[in-house]
Chains A and B, each alone.
Chain A
Protein backbone atom coordinates (compact mmCIF):
# COMPACT_ATOMS: atom_id res chain seq x y z
CA UNK A 1 0.00 0.00 0.00
CA UNK A 2 0.95 3.63 -0.02
CA UNK A 3 3.69 4.53 2.37
CA UNK A 4 5.30 7.70 3.50
CA UNK A 5 8.71 6.94 5.00
CA UNK A 6 10.06 9.37 7.53
CA UNK A 7 13.59 9.49 8.93
CA UNK A 8 15.12 9.61 11.42
CA UNK A 9 12.82 8.04 13.98
CA UNK A 10 14.48 9.91 16.85
CA UNK A 11 16.83 12.85 17.05
CA UNK A 12 18.54 14.20 20.12
CA UNK A 13 20.17 17.62 19.77
CA UNK A 14 21.73 20.21 22.01
CA UNK A 15 19.84 23.47 22.19
CA UNK A 16 21.10 25.71 19.42
CA UNK A 17 21.91 22.88 17.01
CA UNK A 18 20.02 22.42 13.78
CA UNK A 19 17.55 19.60 13.09
CA UNK A 20 16.20 18.06 9.89
CA UNK A 21 13.56 15.41 9.30
CA UNK A 22 12.96 13.82 5.91
CA UNK A 23 9.89 12.39 4.30
CA UNK A 24 10.15 10.07 1.28
CA UNK A 25 7.77 8.17 -0.93
CA UNK A 26 8.19 5.71 -3.79
CA UNK A 27 5.25 7.35 -5.52
CA UNK A 28 4.72 10.99 -6.34
CA UNK A 29 3.56 13.05 -3.41
CA UNK A 30 0.66 15.41 -4.02
CA UNK A 31 -0.06 17.69 -1.08
CA UNK A 32 2.58 17.09 1.60
CA UNK A 33 1.53 18.35 4.99
CA UNK A 34 3.65 18.77 8.10
CA UNK A 35 2.40 18.52 11.67
CA UNK A 36 3.92 18.91 15.13
CA UNK A 37 2.70 17.03 18.16
CA UNK A 38 3.96 18.00 21.59
CA UNK A 39 4.22 15.24 24.23
CA UNK A 40 0.71 14.58 25.54
CA UNK A 41 -0.78 16.92 22.97
CA UNK A 42 -2.54 16.70 19.66
CA UNK A 43 -1.12 17.27 16.17
CA UNK A 44 -0.88 20.87 15.06
CA UNK A 45 -0.83 21.69 11.38
CA UNK A 46 2.35 23.49 10.36
CA UNK A 47 2.22 23.82 6.60
CA UNK A 48 1.18 22.31 3.29
CA UNK A 49 3.43 22.10 0.22
CA UNK A 50 1.95 21.55 -3.20
CA UNK A 51 4.39 22.70 -5.88
CA UNK A 52 7.50 20.91 -7.05
CA UNK A 53 10.63 22.54 -5.58
CA UNK A 54 8.59 24.67 -3.22
CA UNK A 55 10.37 26.18 -0.22
CA UNK A 56 8.48 27.83 2.61
CA UNK A 57 9.77 29.38 5.81
CA UNK A 58 8.17 29.96 9.17
CA UNK A 59 10.63 31.78 11.42
CA UNK A 60 13.30 29.12 12.19
CA UNK A 61 11.47 26.38 10.25
CA UNK A 62 12.19 25.75 6.57
CA UNK A 63 10.04 23.33 4.57
CA UNK A 64 11.07 21.97 1.19
CA UNK A 65 9.32 19.89 -1.46
CA UNK A 66 11.60 17.95 -3.80
CA UNK A 67 11.78 18.73 -7.48
CA UNK A 68 10.45 15.28 -8.35
CA UNK A 69 7.82 15.48 -5.59
CA UNK A 70 9.14 12.24 -4.10
CA UNK A 71 10.50 13.79 -0.91
CA UNK A 72 10.10 16.65 1.51
CA UNK A 73 12.05 17.98 4.45
CA UNK A 74 11.60 20.12 7.53
CA UNK A 75 14.65 21.92 8.84
CA UNK A 76 14.79 23.76 12.15
CA UNK A 77 17.61 26.23 12.66
CA UNK A 78 19.03 26.76 16.15
CA UNK A 79 16.64 24.49 18.02
CA UNK A 80 15.01 25.60 21.24
CA UNK A 81 13.45 23.54 24.02
CA UNK A 82 10.04 24.63 22.71
CA UNK A 83 10.75 22.63 19.53
CA UNK A 84 10.47 19.35 21.45
CA UNK A 85 7.85 17.04 20.02
CA UNK A 86 7.13 14.64 17.18
CA UNK A 87 7.07 15.95 13.64
CA UNK A 88 4.88 14.16 11.13
CA UNK A 89 4.56 14.45 7.40
CA UNK A 90 1.41 13.32 5.61
CA UNK A 91 0.14 13.09 2.07
CA UNK A 92 -3.08 12.25 0.30
CA UNK A 93 -3.29 9.03 -1.69
CA UNK A 94 -6.19 7.80 -3.77
CA UNK A 95 -7.07 4.12 -3.69
CA UNK A 96 -10.17 1.98 -3.53
CA UNK A 97 -12.31 4.88 -4.67
CA UNK A 98 -11.36 7.10 -1.76
CA UNK A 99 -8.72 9.61 -0.81
CA UNK A 100 -6.75 8.79 2.30
CA UNK A 101 -4.40 10.92 4.34
CA UNK A 102 -1.33 8.78 5.04
CA UNK A 103 1.06 9.83 7.81
CA UNK A 104 4.73 9.08 8.19
CA UNK A 105 5.81 7.42 11.43
CA UNK A 106 7.12 10.73 12.74
CA UNK A 107 10.45 12.00 13.99
CA UNK A 108 10.67 12.53 17.73
CA UNK A 109 12.88 15.48 18.58
CA UNK A 110 14.49 15.88 21.98
CA UNK A 111 16.32 19.12 22.73
CA UNK A 112 18.81 19.18 25.60
CA UNK A 113 19.39 22.61 27.21
Chain B
Protein backbone atom coordinates (compact mmCIF):
# COMPACT_ATOMS: atom_id res chain seq x y z
CA UNK B 1 0.00 0.00 0.00
CA UNK B 2 1.46 3.36 -1.00
CA UNK B 3 2.17 5.80 1.81
CA UNK B 4 1.21 9.43 2.18
CA UNK B 5 2.71 11.58 -0.54
CA UNK B 6 3.31 15.29 -0.48
CA UNK B 7 4.23 17.63 -3.30
CA UNK B 8 6.35 19.52 -3.77
CA UNK B 9 9.06 18.33 -1.39
CA UNK B 10 10.90 21.65 -1.40
CA UNK B 11 9.74 25.14 -2.18
CA UNK B 12 11.25 28.61 -2.04
CA UNK B 13 8.92 31.58 -2.06
CA UNK B 14 9.21 35.30 -1.53
CA UNK B 15 7.54 37.20 1.26
CA UNK B 16 4.04 38.32 0.23
CA UNK B 17 3.50 35.48 -2.22
CA UNK B 18 1.08 32.64 -1.71
CA UNK B 19 1.72 28.90 -1.85
CA UNK B 20 -0.32 25.73 -2.28
CA UNK B 21 0.87 22.40 -0.95
CA UNK B 22 -0.64 19.06 -1.86
CA UNK B 23 -1.16 15.85 0.09
CA UNK B 24 -2.37 12.48 -1.18
CA UNK B 25 -3.45 10.22 1.68
CA UNK B 26 -3.21 6.48 1.90
CA UNK B 27 -5.92 4.85 -0.17
CA UNK B 28 -9.08 4.45 1.89
CA UNK B 29 -8.14 7.07 4.47
CA UNK B 30 -10.73 9.81 4.79
CA UNK B 31 -9.02 12.07 7.31
CA UNK B 32 -6.14 14.37 6.43
CA UNK B 33 -4.46 16.60 9.01
CA UNK B 34 -1.87 19.28 8.41
CA UNK B 35 0.99 20.29 10.71
CA UNK B 36 3.72 22.91 10.77
CA UNK B 37 7.09 21.99 12.24
CA UNK B 38 9.72 24.59 13.12
CA UNK B 39 12.76 24.44 15.42
CA UNK B 40 11.30 27.20 17.59
CA UNK B 41 7.64 26.22 17.87
CA UNK B 42 7.91 22.48 17.36
CA UNK B 43 5.06 20.50 15.85
CA UNK B 44 1.83 22.48 15.59
CA UNK B 45 -1.55 21.31 14.39
CA UNK B 46 -3.06 23.37 11.59
CA UNK B 47 -6.34 21.66 10.73
CA UNK B 48 -8.03 18.37 9.95
CA UNK B 49 -10.28 17.55 7.02
CA UNK B 50 -12.66 14.64 6.87
CA UNK B 51 -14.92 13.89 3.92
CA UNK B 52 -14.24 17.31 2.39
CA UNK B 53 -15.16 19.19 5.58
CA UNK B 54 -12.83 20.97 7.97
CA UNK B 55 -13.55 19.16 11.20
CA UNK B 56 -10.88 20.45 13.56
CA UNK B 57 -8.69 23.51 13.61
CA UNK B 58 -5.57 24.75 15.36
CA UNK B 59 -4.58 28.27 16.32
CA UNK B 60 -3.27 29.59 13.04
CA UNK B 61 -4.39 32.82 11.34
CA UNK B 62 -6.79 32.85 8.42
CA UNK B 63 -3.87 33.09 5.98
CA UNK B 64 -3.63 29.35 6.42
CA UNK B 65 -6.46 27.51 4.72
CA UNK B 66 -7.10 24.13 3.26
CA UNK B 67 -9.51 21.98 1.41
CA UNK B 68 -10.16 18.35 0.70
CA UNK B 69 -11.41 16.84 -2.50
CA UNK B 70 -13.83 13.96 -3.00
CA UNK B 71 -10.91 11.56 -3.50
CA UNK B 72 -9.58 12.62 -0.05
CA UNK B 73 -6.60 14.44 -1.53
CA UNK B 74 -5.99 17.67 0.33
CA UNK B 75 -4.37 21.00 -0.37
CA UNK B 76 -3.12 23.61 2.03
CA UNK B 77 -2.78 27.23 1.03
CA UNK B 78 -0.82 29.97 2.74
CA UNK B 79 -1.43 33.50 1.51
CA UNK B 80 0.70 36.60 2.03
CA UNK B 81 3.71 34.60 3.11
CA UNK B 82 5.83 35.84 6.00
CA UNK B 83 9.40 34.92 6.88
CA UNK B 84 8.08 33.07 9.91
CA UNK B 85 6.13 30.70 7.69
CA UNK B 86 9.36 28.96 6.75
CA UNK B 87 8.86 25.46 8.07
CA UNK B 88 8.37 21.81 7.31
CA UNK B 89 4.71 21.26 6.51
CA UNK B 90 3.54 17.75 7.21
CA UNK B 91 0.30 16.08 6.38
CA UNK B 92 -0.98 12.90 7.95
CA UNK B 93 -3.78 10.61 6.96
CA UNK B 94 -5.94 8.41 9.10
CA UNK B 95 -8.74 5.96 8.52
CA UNK B 96 -11.21 7.88 10.66
CA UNK B 97 -9.87 10.98 12.37
CA UNK B 98 -8.38 12.82 15.32
CA UNK B 99 -10.92 11.72 17.86
CA UNK B 100 -10.93 8.10 16.86
CA UNK B 101 -8.35 5.60 17.99
CA UNK B 102 -6.81 5.28 14.58
CA UNK B 103 -3.17 5.65 13.79
CA UNK B 104 -2.00 8.65 11.79
CA UNK B 105 0.47 8.13 8.96
CA UNK B 106 2.66 11.08 8.13
CA UNK B 107 3.99 12.07 4.74
CA UNK B 108 7.60 13.15 4.16
CA UNK B 109 6.68 16.84 4.34
CA UNK B 110 7.18 19.92 2.20
CA UNK B 111 10.09 22.12 3.21
CA UNK B 112 8.99 25.74 2.60
CA UNK B 113 11.53 28.54 2.70
CA UNK B 114 10.30 32.12 2.58
CA UNK B 115 12.89 34.74 1.62
Residues of A within 8 A of B (CB): 1, 31, 33, 41-45, 48, 50, 88, 90, 92, 96, 98-106
Contact = CB atoms under 8 A, between A and B. Distances in A.
A103 B56 contact: no
Contact of A105 (B33, B42, B104): B42
Nearest to B3: A42
Interface residues of B, number: 23
A98 B56 contact: yes
B106 A43 contact: yes
A41 B44 CA distance: 16
Contacts of B103: 45, 48
B2 interface: no
Instruction: State the majority secondary structure of interface residues on B.
Output: strand
B101 A103 contact: no
A28 to B, nearest CB: 16
Interface string B64-107: 00000000000000000000000000101000001101011111
A42 B42 contact: no
24 contacts: A31-B99, A31-B101, A43-B43, A43-B90, A43-B92, A44-B106, A48-B101, A48-B103, A50-B101, A90-B43, A92-B98, A96-B57, A99-B48, A99-B55, A99-B56, A99-B98, A99-B99, A100-B57, A101-B33, A101-B56, A102-B45, A103-B44, A105-B42, A106-B43
A42 B109 contact: yes
Contacts of A45: 103-106
A4 B54 CA distance: 24
B60 to A, nearest CB: 10
Contacts of B99: 31, 92, 99
A1 B59 contact: yes
B57 A103 contact: no
Contact of A42 (B33, B44, B98, B106): B106
Of A99, A101, A102, chain B has the most CB atoms within 10 Å of the CB of: A101
